[in-house]
Structure 1
Amino acid sequence: MPEMRFTVRWPDGAVESCYSPSLVIREHMAAGESYPVGDFLERSRTALNIASERVRAKYGFACSSALDQLARIETRARRFSATADARVAVLSFEE
């Protein structure tokens, strides 16, 4: 199963490399785009849950790395929930 990393810049300027066990993330966000934090969070939830389920279908168990990444994204996103115009930029995808 092809895995990938996607690099994002949070509203505070911090850059983070994120993990996905599947290329499905590309179907839910695009490099060079920025998304309101809530939208980015929903896109991440959808894509990483699909990725985890693809691992389950192939290997018989969910991908804990995808779910851990989602938890880190959810934790970080909470910091910006009160900022109405906060956006997350997707900088790149690396396979």
Structure 2
Amino acid sequence: MPEMLFEVRWPDGSHQTYYSPSLIVREYLEAGHDYPVADFVDRVREAMGIADARVRAKYGMGCSMAPVAVAQIEAAAGGFDGGTVHVERFRT
């Protein structure tokens, strides 16, 4: 299953790279776009849920990294009251 990384810039200017076990994240986020923090988190949760289901369907078990990425993003997002997340790029 193709996996990818996606790089974001948080409202405080910090940069972070996150893992996705599937290319599905490209259907929920677009490089070069800004998303309100809450919307970004919702989009990632949905995309990672689908990615995990795809891995489960193909391999018989889910991807342990998908919930880790969601938890990392939720933790980072919790530090912001508003603002936007900029999706910088995707890497495969």
Structure 2 length normalisation: TM-score?
0.97
- What is residue 90 of structure 1 aligned with on the other side? 87
Q: Any idea what SS the aligned residue of 1:79 has?
A: coil
Aligned CA RMSD, in angstroms, stands at 0.6
What is the aligned-residue identity percentage?
52
Provide the rounded CA distance (Å) in 2 between the counterparts of 1:13 and 1:49: 27
Matched, 1:31 2:31: yes
The residue number in structure 2 matching 1:47 is 47
Counterpart CA distance in 2 for 1:70 and 1:22 is 14
Gaps spanning 5+ residues in structure 1: where?
Answer: none
How many residue pairs match? The answer is 92
Q: Distance in 2 between matches of 1:13 and 1:52?
A: 29
Deviation at 1:62, TM superposition (A): 1.0
SS at match of 1:7: strand
TM-score by length of 1: 0.94
The whole-number CA distance in structure 1 between the counterparts of 2:14 and 2:64 is 24
Moved over 6 A (4+): none
Structure 2 match to 1:9: 9
Deviations 1:3-51 (A, max 9, x none): 0000000011110011000000000010000100000000000001110
Q: Give, in whole Å, the separation in 2 of the partners of 1:64 and 1:14.
A: 25
